[in-house]
Every structure is written in structure tokens, then in C-alpha cells.
Amino acid sequence: MRRLLIPILVLLPCLHALPLLDAPSVHAADAPGLEGRQAPPWGAGVWHGTDRALQPGAFRGRVAYVVVLPQAEARAVNDLTAVAARYGASSDVAVVAIASTGAPGLASRLRIPVCAGKPGALDRAYGRSPRPWALAIDRRGILRYHGPALSASRAVLVLEALRTAGRHDNPLVGKPFGSLAGLRFHGATKHDFGAHALTLVRWWTVSCPHCTASVPDLAALRSRHRTEDVAFLPIYHFKGGRRWSPRELQTYLSRLGHTGPFAEDPGWTKLRDTMRRAGFNRATSVSFLVDARGIVRWAHPGPRVHASVESRYAGPDADLRGLAATVDALLAEHAARPRPGAAAPR
């Protein structure tokens, strides 16, 4: 037994150097299909429970959850029933179904619009599956979920994240993020919020499985919006163990998908102040979205924001979808805002 313990004890101090082993197998950048794009029409069909034919554009301004039932599986129907009961009176969320059989009865029982049969363009636009599947569409008509039908609890997480996108009630949202003085920058002399439409800020450290899981998806979100000038600013905070050099930290970040500048927060001065103002006390791996005026538009208490098909990470997955919806909405708002010195439209 002692012979086995000796090599294990020798290896323990080295385990902090292997954080990538904890990374999830699914990231936002790997999501197949149409997610992140305008939801395409699914074609004409016969609708029950409504006096008009519905297409994705009919839900603009609301979040839509669409469940497709190639067959009436009891579990999928039960989950749909629970979601419909929760949002039946909501002005923010619409729940509808497309059912190959039993559409009139389903519409009557659940009091939601149901399309009978299968609209002609559905398979061509979204693919084909013999099992129940679902779509979640945000207020701007962008597809945020496209996959197997969700459990009721997971569907609620996704819909709530989309429903509240850009409407967080955190006390720091709507207020200045504050000065970055005291941070040490690597790869740049400073960070200027005004030089970017949005900046996604994330405190992180090595040996942190939450950061290892989250940083790749946050970096990927920034990469998808490179042309709209979305910046990602990871801020390192030391948590003990061996002190890593800036070059080692940059290499570590590059393995997680971020090759740009980053900062260090020695003494956690900015971190503590920001957490206090946001009312966060659960984790130090917190995240914020800051606009070009330096105003906080989204705040996350940590520790995880990442895509995952695992049920234990349903919350972080939903939060990432809500963040993506918030980024798109704020970019549209930024594009519509007159530039300083620009002539007012006549």
C-alpha cells in the first residue's frame, strides 16, 4: 500500500498543471445547425388553437419555444404540458407545437397553438428527427436552441435566460464598471472600453475547472463577433500555488482559445470592489459585459458560463445562450446609435 501512495503523493502537486482535462466536450462554437442565425420559416400548415398560420417572424418581440412531435411520446408531451402551464398567460414567452398526430386535441388540452402534420419546409430548414425535438427563438428571431426536446426544467432555464436577456436587475447593471487602474496588462498597455462596441470581462485563475470550462466559450463568443468589435478581457487573479509568468499565463489562455491581451489583478483590488458593487459572494470567477460608454449591461455571479449537454450544467448552458442573446441585442442597439458628430437624419 505504501508503494502505491508514494507516487500518488509525488504527483499531487503537479495536478494544478492539468486543468484542461476538466473541459466539457461541447462548446458553443461546436454547436451544429442554425443556432445564432435567424430562424428560417418552417412552411405552411394547418393550425389549431389560433386564427392564423404562425411562422418564426410572428413571435418577434417575444421568446418562442417550439416543440416538434413526430410521434406523441409521453415524456415529451408531459414536459411540453408543464412548460405550457408555466407560460400560458405570459406576454413574453410563446409556446407552440408541431404535431404529426392529435394536433386538435393537444391544442385544446394545453391551450397553445399546434400545427397539424408537418409543414413542407420543416425538414429542409431544420433537418429530420424521428424523436421529439425543439427550438428556442429569442426576441429578435434568432435561433438559440436547436436540438432534442428539453425537459421541462431545462426548457424553463433556457426560456428565462432568453426572456431576461438584457434586462438583468443586478445593482451594477446600468452603472459604470469603473476604472481599470491598478491592473497589469499583458499584450497591450491598457484597455479602452470606448474602442469597442462591447467588452466581455471575466476574472479567472489557473487550476480552476470553472474557468477552464467557461473561458473557451466566452472567447468563442467574442470570435464570432470580431467584425462588430466585441472584445474579451480575461483578468487573472492569483489564488496560491506556484506563481506563473505572464508568458505561461498567455500560453495557458491560448490553449483555452484566447490569444489576445489579458490583465492581472494583483491583490484582487478591482475584483473585490466589483463583487461588492454587484452583490456577488458565491465565486470569484465572475463575468461582466460592458458597453462602449463603460456601462455594465450584463453581470454573472459565476462560477460557470458555458455550453453543455450535461444536465448538471443546464444552468451554465442556459446562461451562455442568454448572454449570446444579450450581445446580439446590444450590438443592434450600438449600430443604431448615432455616432458623435454625425448629422441627424432628416
Backbone region of residue 249 per phi and psi (left: phi > 0; alpha: psi in -120 to 50; beta: other values): alpha
Domain architecture of the chain: domains with CATH: 29-163 (3.40.30.10), 184-334 (3.40.30.10)
Per the document, the length of the chain is 346
Quote the pLDDT of residue 42. 95
Q: Give how far Cα 318 sits from Cα of 156, 197, 231, 304, Å.
A: 9, 24, 22, 11
Question: What is the pTM (predicted TM-score) of this model?
Answer: 0.86
Q: Which amino acid is at 141?
A: G
Where do the DSSP E strands lie in 55-132? Answer: 63-69, 93-99, 114-116
Quote the pLDDT of residue 226. 82
Q: What angle do CA 342, 61, 83 make, to 5 degrees?
A: 150
261 prior amide bond cis, ω within 30? no
- Of the candidates 193, 156, 181, the one whose C-alpha atom is nearest the C-alpha of residue 297 is 193
Quote the pLDDT of residue 168. 79
Quote the pLDDT of residue 9. 35
**Half-sphere exposure (Cβ direction) of 284: Cα atoms closer than 13 Å:** 18
Quote the pLDDT of residue 346. 43
Residue segments in the chain with a per-residue pLDDT below the cut of 70: 1-32, 339-346
Quote the pLDDT of residue 31. 37
Quote the pLDDT of residue 340. 56
Quote the pLDDT of residue 341. 55
Quote the pLDDT of residue 246. 97
Quote the pLDDT of residue 1. 43
